[in-house]
Amino acid sequence: MSNVHYNRIIRKIILGFGDMFNNITLVRYNLDETEQERFVVPINYGTKELYVARLQGDPDLDKKVQITLPRFSYVLNGISYDTKRKLNTNVRKFYPLDTGAIAQYNPVPYNFEFSLYLYVRNIEDGSQIIEHILPYFTPDYTINIDLIPEMGITKGIPIILDSTEYEVTYEGNRDSDTRYVIWTLKFTAHAYLYGMISNPVGLIRNSIVNIYDFNSNNKLVKIHSTPTPTDATANDSYGYTTTVMEYPYITEGLNIPPDFDGDALTQVGIDDLLNLEERITDLK
Amino acid sequence: MATSSYFNNYGAHSEQRLIEDIIVESIKIMGFDAFYLPNDNDAARDLLFGEDPVKKFRSAFPLELYLSNSTEYMGEKEFFSKFGLEIRNNVNVILSKRSFSQRVPQNTFTRPREGDLIYVPFMNGTGELYEIKFTNQTKDFFMLGRKVPYFYELELEKFKYSQEVIETGVDIIDEVLTQSAYTITLKVIKDFKQVYTSTNWSSGLYDNKNIIIDPKNDTFLIELGNLRIGDTILYKTTYNSDDVSAKIVGIKTFGITNYNITTDSDIIGLYELTEFTILPRNVANYGYGTYEIKETVYQSDDGTYNNATCEATLQSWAPLTGEITITNIKGEVANNSYIYGTSSNAKYYIFRTNELGTSPKNENFDNLFIENSAASYINTDENNSFGTI
């Protein structure tokens, strides 16, 4: 574990979660249901340092009001390993670069538990916002995040709504504070954490496929493919040169179609190769 | 009656009046000036939930008050929660009933009502806005048998602002909006060039210094309408495939939407126009007039207020940078549309809005930061379902 890597996945998931709720517009209506005003509900991540909260919330020490409502806040409560989504840890995914191919082992599945808080002055405001959010979670809503752009890995992360709580603090004597109306929505994001990306390794430029007859154990065909040009990199424009070598006993005991000419296919393109494979399959 | 008929300590009106005079005078001597802001839209009260989502504070009555707790704020004071900084200051103040009756219209507001606001200009240096949490009329405990109170003690809690309308006409109070209300910044000046090609016009010709265009879309038409003599434009024709820079020396309109723009170009001949570029210009090219701060501004398809599709209160107007900030927005603010001032009659063309809002000075939130930070790796192939309700 001495290597250095940081994929910023936790940060991405926190931002991705907040991004779902950062553009929710609340419309206030008059009694006749005409619009009175509208505004986007503010959102912030909850666990800021106190001094940052003070510097941002009252920079010149002249704040005239207690707080501005309604507003969202959200917090990542914790993460836990999800055994149900375990993947084979020996499998690697490769990604081509000009200088070779980079690789990364399968990710480990982790559940991210979030709480989204909504603090409103008016119950009506809270009702409208919650009624807007809940239908999207059935009970999950999936966001697509480029978790590892270097590897071209984009994952759909299901965000599952686990619970919805509603707290109104309104009882008390006359010294009590004014009413608090707070909604708490708890979510679980089914995400993955990835390990380090390996350094680039060489590209495969020669591919040899041997096809055998299982009954006789005789080799039937040898297919050798190379890129064209041979020094092409993964991101270049390139084709393939494929050499197919037939072995004599390929025809033994088989019903060969009259137009099957193995010699003519010694230099073929990839489409021909596929045709040949189909035809050999048909023959067998 | 069981009490002595020779002594009357609870019915002497002259002594009661004396006490009241002394109380009023004491408050005047030892108190401070403040403002009472009643909610004048309580007809819109939601009787089911018992709340006023659309409060409007549109008047401020000056009053003298006396601070009961003279050493420190009550309440939890600066409270740091997941919602950020909350300043949970509470104070109690004394308000004489006589002063209230004299200063506040008694036909509508017979007493300081819970839920109304008190603005204390000196507190916290630049003033604080408080909500009346409880009006205590028994603090004097019926001194000398008076049935109505000599004074009220108002138990105040610093106001939880919830985007209410605050238009009192008193600048230091209305400043709450610029400090804390949801604010959109509109960009008037266009600081990038706009290139139009032949898909934007039905016909476009260059004819001996004259560029004759019949625009096909409204955006281009409005852009042409904003051109002024002296502006510099770029154009390409079938004769010159590179941009030619020219200054406008005359603009004529003909037909319904046709424009004849005369330039100082020295190219002679008749050619087909292939590209027309409008360069960034100053604000004056995008409208006229000077908005008045606090005036109502609106957007409308036909320019009339009656058919407004959006209206708001203008909080600032910076002609040099071409930025307008608005609060208390009703309707959806549209890009590429004029915004009109109701009292100034100014109008300017809006190119960009930031609907996520601009953090007011004293209200920091992360909407825009989250949006910008997530933009680079959130797959936006699909629309954000959580958008406007």
Say yes or no: B363 contacts chain A, CB-CB below 8 A: yes
In eight-state DSSP terms, residue A210 is E
Q: Can you list the domains of chain B with their CATH numbers?
A: 13-168 (no CATH), 184-188+285-366 (no CATH), 194-278 (2.40.10)
Reply yes or no on whether the pLDDT at B190 is more than 90.
no
Do A42 and B128 make contact, defined as CB atoms within 8 angstroms? no
Reply yes or no on whether the pLDDT at B389 is more than 50.
no
* Lowest-confidence pick of A215-229, A236-250, B8-22: A236-250
| CA–centroid distance for B136 within its chain | 34
The model's pLDDT over B30-39, given as tens digits with 9 standing for 90+, comes to 999 999 999 9
Do A145 and B378 make contact, defined as CB atoms within 8 angstroms? yes
* Lowest-confidence pick of A28-42, A113-127, A132-146, A211-225: A211-225
Reply yes or no on whether the pLDDT at A56 is more than 80.
yes
Reply yes or no on whether the pLDDT at B123 is more than 90.
no
Reply yes or no on whether the pLDDT at A264 is more than 60.
no
pLDDT score at B341: 94
A residues 25..54 contacting B (CB < 8 A): 25-31, 35-40, 42-48, 50, 53-54
Would you place residue A201 in the very low, low, confident or very high pLDDT band (cuts 50, 70, 90)?
confident
More confident residue, A271 or A90: A90
The model's pLDDT over B143-159, given as tens digits with 9 standing for 90+, comes to 888 888 999 999 999 99
Note the pTM of the prediction, 2 decimals.
Answer: 0.78
Do B160 and A29 make contact, defined as CB atoms within 8 angstroms? no
Say yes or no: A116 contacts chain B, CB-CB below 8 A: no
Residue B293: strand, helix, or coil: coil
Do B124 and A30 make contact, defined as CB atoms within 8 angstroms? no
| Mean pLDDT value of segment B234-249 | 90
Say yes or no: A7 contacts chain B, CB-CB below 8 A: no
CA dist A271 and B353 (Å) reads 53
Query: Strands B117-120 and B128-136: what pairing?
Result: antiparallel
Using CA atoms, how far residue B372 sits from A23, A146, A152, A281, B192, in Å, is: 12, 15, 21, 54, 21
| Mean pLDDT value of segment B275-301 | 85
Task: Please name the residue of chain A whose CA is at the shortest distance from the CA of residue B378.
Answer: A145
CA dist A223 and A244 (Å) reads 5
The model's pLDDT over B313-366, given as tens digits with 9 standing for 90+, comes to 999 998 877 889 999 999 998 887 889 999 999 988 887 777 776 777 788 888
Do B365 and A16 make contact, defined as CB atoms within 8 angstroms? no
| CA–centroid distance for A58 within its chain | 38
A residues 140..199 contacting B (CB < 8 A): 141, 143-147, 149, 154, 174-175, 177-178
| Mean pLDDT value of segment B246-255 | 88
pLDDT score at A214: 79
| Mean pLDDT value of segment A103-118 | 96
Say yes or no: B165 contacts chain A, CB-CB below 8 A: yes
With a pLDDT cut of 90, the percent of chain B lying above it is 51
Mention every residue, 6+ apart, whose C-beta is less than 8 A from residue B3: none
pLDDT score at A114: 97
Do B367 and A40 make contact, defined as CB atoms within 8 angstroms? yes
Cα distance between the two ends of chain A = 51
More confident residue, A278 or A14: A14
CA dist A260 and A250 (Å) reads 12
Do B378 and A69 make contact, defined as CB atoms within 8 angstroms? no
Mention every residue, 6+ apart, whose C-beta is less than 8 A from residue A187: A17, A113, A114, A115, A116, A159, A160, A161, A162
More confident residue, B325 or A270: B325
Closest CA to B19 of B141, B123, B153: B141
| Mean pLDDT value of segment A39-45 | 93
Burial class (CB in 10 A: 0-12, 13-18, 19+), B239: middle
pLDDT score at A280: 57
Would you place residue A231 in the very low, low, confident or very high pLDDT band (cuts 50, 70, 90)?
confident
Query: Across the interface, which of A35, A44, A141 has its CB nearest the CB of B331?
Result: A35
Closest CA to B63 of B118, B20, B142, B116: B118
Secondary structure element (H or E) that encloses residue A57, with its range: helix A50-57
B residues 209..228 contacting A (CB < 8 A): none
With a pLDDT cut of 90, the percent of chain A lying above it is 54
Distance from CA of B333 to the nearest CA of A (A): 10
Query: Across the interface, which of B180, B366, B376 has its CB nearest the CB of A45?
Result: B366
pLDDT score at B27: 95
Do A122 and B51 make contact, defined as CB atoms within 8 angstroms? yes
| Mean pLDDT value of segment A255-275 | 49
Do B124 and A141 make contact, defined as CB atoms within 8 angstroms? no
The complex's ipTM works out to 0.77
Reply yes or no on whether the pLDDT at B62 is more than 90.
yes
pLDDT score at A65: 93
CA dist B158 and A178 (Å) reads 10
Residue B199: strand, helix, or coil: helix
Reply yes or no on whether the pLDDT at B120 is more than 60.
yes
Do B162 and A60 make contact, defined as CB atoms within 8 angstroms? no
More confident residue, A78 or A217: A78
Tell me the two tokens of residue B96. Answer: 């004489």
How much of chain A is helix, strand and coil, in % rounded to 5? 20, 40, 35
Query: Across the interface, which of B175, B330, B356 has its CB nearest the CB of A40?
Result: B356
> Cα–Cα–Cα angle for A19, A72, B364, nearest 5°?
85
Contacts of residue A142 in chain B, CB cutoff 8 Å?
Answer: none
